[in-house]
Amino acid sequence: CENFSIKGFDVNVSKKDMLMYLKNDKPDIIIGATGTSIFDASDLSSLGGEHVYHFLSISSSDREFPVASFRDGNNKKVHNDVVYKNFVFVNNGFPITFLGLKYESTPAEMEKTIALLMGSVLHGATRGFGGGEGLIDVPKELEDLINE
């Protein structure tokens, strides 16, 4: 991406370190994928008002960023971006994949996702956790079996 600053943060990085990075390096886009609250309104106010930050969530809700405190009468529609000072909360702070439909995917896609998750859990349980090696690859045979 031209003229964009991209950086990833592990879950073990402190909020102080993340805020310091945002303040100093001024990335254009911040993507939240934790499913928990990352910043509150006072944290964002410490960033200053010159640079425009775009906050995108790819988790399961609007918890990542303090968008609820910035919604007003003009920002009540689900898919409107919430703009407050120099902060833009894309898709009203909800995950960018959230369309507001009753079901976001077909029943077959939901079943496949559940089967892949369950297969991964069972594979991990039979393989053993606690080795500290991070993510465990699911064998291709298991993925192919579920995808049939």
What's the pLDDT at 129?
59
Q: Give the CA distances from residue 56 to residues 12, 73, 98, 121, in Å, rounded to whole numbers and listed in that order.
A: 20, 21, 11, 29
- Token look-up 């805020």 returns 19
Residue 52: per-residue pLDDT: 93
> Percentage of the chain with pLDDT > 90?
4
The total of other beta-carbon atoms located within 10 Å of residue 7's CB is 10
Question: Residue 124 is encoded by which pair of tokens?
Answer: 């991990």
Number of Cβ within 10 Å of residue 15's Cβ equals 13
- Cβ-contact 95, 60 below 8 angstroms: yes
Q: Are 78 and 94 in contact (CB under 8 A)?
A: yes
Beta bridge partners of 31: 56
pLDDT digits (tens, 9 = 90+) for 60-81: 778 888 888 787 765 556 678 8
* CB 88 within 8 Å of CB 54: yes
What integer pLDDT is reported at residue 119 of this predicted model? Answer: 75
**What are the tens digits of pLDDT across the range 98-137?**
665 666 677 787 788 777 777 777 777 777 655 555 666 6
Higher pLDDT: 122 or 55? It is 55
Burial of 80 (0-12, 13-18, 19+ CB in 10 A): middle
- Does residue 18 have a pLDDT over 80? yes
pLDDT at 5 over 60: no
